[in-house]
Amino acid sequence: MQIIKYLKLPFLFDKGLLQQEVHALSALSWLPHYQVKHYEGEWTAIPLRSIGGKADDVIISPTDNRDYQDTIFLERSPYLQEVLQSFQCPLQAARLLKLHAGSIIKEHRDAELNFESGEIRLHIPVVTHPDVEFFLDKERITPQEGECWYMNFNLPHSIRNNSAVNRVHLVIDALVNDWVKQLFSSSEITVKKEITDTSAILSDDTKRKMIAQFREMNTTISHQMADELEKELMAGLQ
């Protein structure tokens, strides 16, 4: 089965306006990211859309389609509103995420967060730097300021900010509808990579069953395949 690893959407947003509005919001308190086990250093957020529109809540669940609403921070940001309105699909969470200089996000996976599972996560870099290293399944991706990228975050991914600047991305979660399907197959998309990797979308229970079956086969190759699946399971639990 072919799955989309990543693609660059045919949007280019005004990085100057994005940075201007982020700067205005930066006078407010950034909230620590709740996934503390996934990072070292500082990783903070400002919620633009959250459950119930709460301005102090950055907790999200990609598979929990609860009532996401605009926060006061989005209401104060007309260009960010315009950016979100570009996406003609049901929007879930939206937030600004800041990975501070010298900080890292450890390799992990976000379960069921991919196009094939019905929910996408889009990244729009607001402030970035050539020394930021963004890896998706061991491949380095280099999104530029103002661009819009979809990546399959069900795959292992990690980020290391080796620069002296704080990296800021606008991150949007949305549900897949016909508009998204048409957009993802559009001829306007010039950067796209698909992979044949069914294990990337297998459930953890299925992987455990496959591991047991490979162990029972008791061959060198089957043990190697079981080892790889176990590594994927461990990455998802970290």
Using CA atoms, how far apart are residues 197 and 86, in angstroms rounded to an integer?
31
Amino acid at 22: V
What is the structure's pLDDT at 237? 62
Tell me the CATH architecture of domain 2-195. Sandwich (2.60)
Does the model's pTM come out above 0.75?
yes
What is the structure's pLDDT at 89? 97
Our CA dihedral for 15, 21, 24, 27, rounded to 10 degrees, sits at -80
Query: Around 81, how many Cα atoms within 13 Å sit in the side-chain half-sphere?
Result: 10
Domain positions in the chain are: 2-195, 202-237
Our CA dihedral for 69, 73, 74, 75, rounded to 10 degrees, sits at 90
Task: Name 143's Cβ contacts closer than 8 Å, sequence gap at least 6.
Answer: 8, 123, 125, 128, 134, 149
* pLDDT range class, residue 204, cuts 50, 70, 90: confident
DSSP states of 115-158 as a string? GGGTEEEEEEEEE--TTEEEEETTEEE-PPTTEEEEE-TTS-EE
What's the rounded mean pLDDT across residues 68-92? Answer: 97
Say whether pLDDT at 124 is over 70: yes
What is the structure's pLDDT at 196? 80
Say whether pLDDT at 218 is over 90: no
Apex 165 CA angle, 159 and 168, nearest 5? 60
Question: What DSSP state is assigned to residue 89?
Answer: S
Amino acid at 137: D
What's the rounded mean pLDDT across residues 14-36? Answer: 90
Q: Which of 132, 73, 135, 67 is nearest to 100 (CA)?
A: 132
Task: Name 203's Cβ contacts closer than 8 Å, sequence gap at least 6.
Answer: none
161 pairs with which residues across the strands? Answer: 132
Mean pLDDT value across the chain: 90
Using CA atoms, how far apart are residues 198 and 65, in angstroms rounded to an integer?
25
What's the rounded mean pLDDT across residues 133-153? Answer: 97
